[in-house]
Amino acid sequence: MTSKKEKGKRKKGRALLLLPFAFLLFTFSCGPRRGAVASTAAFGSCPVCHMRVKASDDWAAEIYYKDQTKLMFESPGDMLAFYTSPKSYEVDDAHRDRANIERIVVKDYQSKHPTDARQASFVYKSKIEGPMGADFLPFGKREDAEAFVAANGGTLLSLNDVTGEMARDLRK
C-alpha cells in the first residue's frame, strides 16, 4: 500500500506536468491569429509589423482573396510593403500570389472612407506622417491628392508605381 504522503507527491507531480501544457494551450488560444482571417473578420494581425489590427481603424488596410479570406494591415505602408515583397513575410503561398487577390482596400486620408487601392492615389514622402511615422497617404480622388501634394509636398503614385524599395525606405 502507498502512504498518503506518496499519493500527495504523485498528485503534485502530475499537476507540475500539466502546467506547461496548460500554459501553451492558453497562450495559443488567446493570442492574435497570424496570417489570413475570414473576409468578414473585424480583427486580425498585421503580417508586416505583427500588431493587432481592427478593421474599423482609420489607417487599416486589407487585401481580400478569392478564397473568402483577407490579410489585415496596420497601415497603408505595411500593406504596400507586403504587396511589393510578399515573399518577405510569413504567410502561405496562396496569400503571396497576386493572382489570388480579389480586391485591396485602403482608407482615404481625408474622409477615412474605404477606397479601392487599385484606383487610389498614394502620396509618398510628404511632410505629413501617419500615426506610426512616415507612411503612404491614400486618396480616393486624384484631385484631392494633387491638392494635398501642392500644400504638403510629396510624390503622387498609383499602386503599381510603388516599389519594394520605397516601402522599405519608409520603414527605416
Write out residues in the chain with pLDDT < 70, as ranges: 1-34
Residue 132's pLDDT is 84
Residues whose CB falls within 8 Å of the CB of residue 115, separated by 6 or more in sequence, listed in order: 105, 106, 107, 108, 138, 139, 140
Q: 2-23: b or e for each residue (b if 16 or more CB lie within 10 Å)?
A: eeeeeeeeeeeeeeeeeeeeee
101 forms beta bridges with 65
3-class secondary structure, 121: strand
Q: What is the pLDDT of residue 29?
A: 38
Which pLDDT score is estimated for 24? 39
- Give me the pLDDT at residue 171, please: 79
Q: In the sheet where 121-124 sits, what is the strand order?
A: 137-139, 121-124, 155-157
pLDDT of amino acid 46: 96
Looking up cell 520603414 gives 171
Give residue 131's pLDDT: 86
**Are the C-beta atoms of residues 44 and 69 closer than 8 Å to each other?**
no
Question: Quick one: CA torsion of 23, 28, 31, 34, rounded to 10 degrees?
Answer: 160
Q: What is the pTM of this model?
A: 0.79
